[in-house]
Structure 1
């Protein structure tokens, strides 16, 4: 048992179902692809993650699985297995302090990762302000890591490219996994959605124009 309040869990499930439906409508979570998570508890870390193997356009507030800091099932009462990618969600939450982590299979992010495997440089775009950076005079890099089925390896790769915020610089709250998709995160659901949508727009623009 995790001790997570049932009403809080239902609310988290409803929020994730709504976001999954939104992103499915964009074509970013086709079929059963992608996964979204919300941090339910910090100490010890517990996340609610969209259940694996379900059509993401049709989720309900019950279609979530609780995971621990290692991405393992956190509730002995739930027979469903978490997504194989749950471990990276938990790692990003622990490493960045994010309250929500979204992973989608947006095509332009995959194309950008293929074209620029060392990272996708962005500058002089007004939309940069939406992820905490200056619209002009600043260059940021959306990092790209190689894909692997082992989330311990993926977590190590995340650490190798992640630059935490400092008093003078904001983080880049997005990551591309080559040949796979992208992750974005934020303090809460609204921030994670905003970062994901804005990062995808800038990647789409870059793929179209560079």
Structure 2
């Protein structure tokens, strides 16, 4: 899904429809409530281009044209689309792509990610769980630490914090008090990583509440 660059209206490329479908999936899970969250997919590498969900729209009701093409800084590409404006967080999506080579990024606002980010500001450790295989890690005898970074309204500052905390073996990060970012080679892999990490967070939260 990371081949040709989008140069025309997103709805004519297939990317817009795929993003809308993925957003509806996450919204149905309750992970993108009240217009929160955003998704992106890389549509070109030279120069870097990402198609991102437009700001302020209900993610369960997006249409294929409700997307904005942005550059490597997360800024809307002039003349590429009339869908609206990208979220300021598009800049962080673009930073993730530059740092990791990801082909898609998912950002959701889940209760478990916010709660566990507050409880474990130094990182959230997991081990001896079969679900870790979904991140390409061992299910036994290995500790996997999900990075947690402090939030900021300045995407440059937030991006610097993400870069400093980034673990090449963990395709996700929690922004404390905000939510979860996860990524992958394409939207399907980014979805899988999001679902796996969210499951791990929900389990951890449930176990802590039960103590």
Q: Specify if TM > 0.5.
A: yes
Which of 111, 118, 133 does residue 114 from structure 1 map onto? 118
Moved over 3 A (4+): 5-10
Contact 1:4 1:40 (8 Å CA) reproduced? no
TM-score between both structures, scaled by the size of structure 2: 0.92
Equivalenced residue count is 203
Q: 1:187: which partner in 2?
A: 185
Alpha-carbon distance between aligned partners in 2 of 1:185 and 1:36, rounded to the nearest angstrom = 10
Unmatched runs of 5 consecutive residues or more in structure 2: none
Alpha-carbon distance between aligned partners in 2 of 1:188 and 1:78, rounded to the nearest angstrom = 22
SS of 2:34's partner is coil
Deviations for 1:110-140, whole angstroms, at most 9, x for unmatched residues?
A: 1110100001001111000001100001101
Q: 1:37: which partner in 2?
A: 40
63 and 9 in structure 1: CA distance in 2 versus 1, 3 angstrom threshold: same
119 and 200 in structure 1: CA distance in 2 versus 1, 3 angstrom threshold: same
Alpha-carbon distance between aligned partners in 2 of 1:98 and 1:8, rounded to the nearest angstrom = 22
1:6 to partner: Cα distance: 5.0
Unmatched runs of 5 consecutive residues or more in structure 1: 165-170
1:153 to partner: Cα distance: 0.5
Whether 1:69 and 2:56 are equivalent positions in the alignment is no
TM-score between both structures, scaled by the size of structure 1: 0.92
Which of 16, 19, 23 does residue 19 from structure 2 map onto? 16
Alpha-carbon distance between aligned partners in 2 of 1:25 and 1:78, rounded to the nearest angstrom = 27
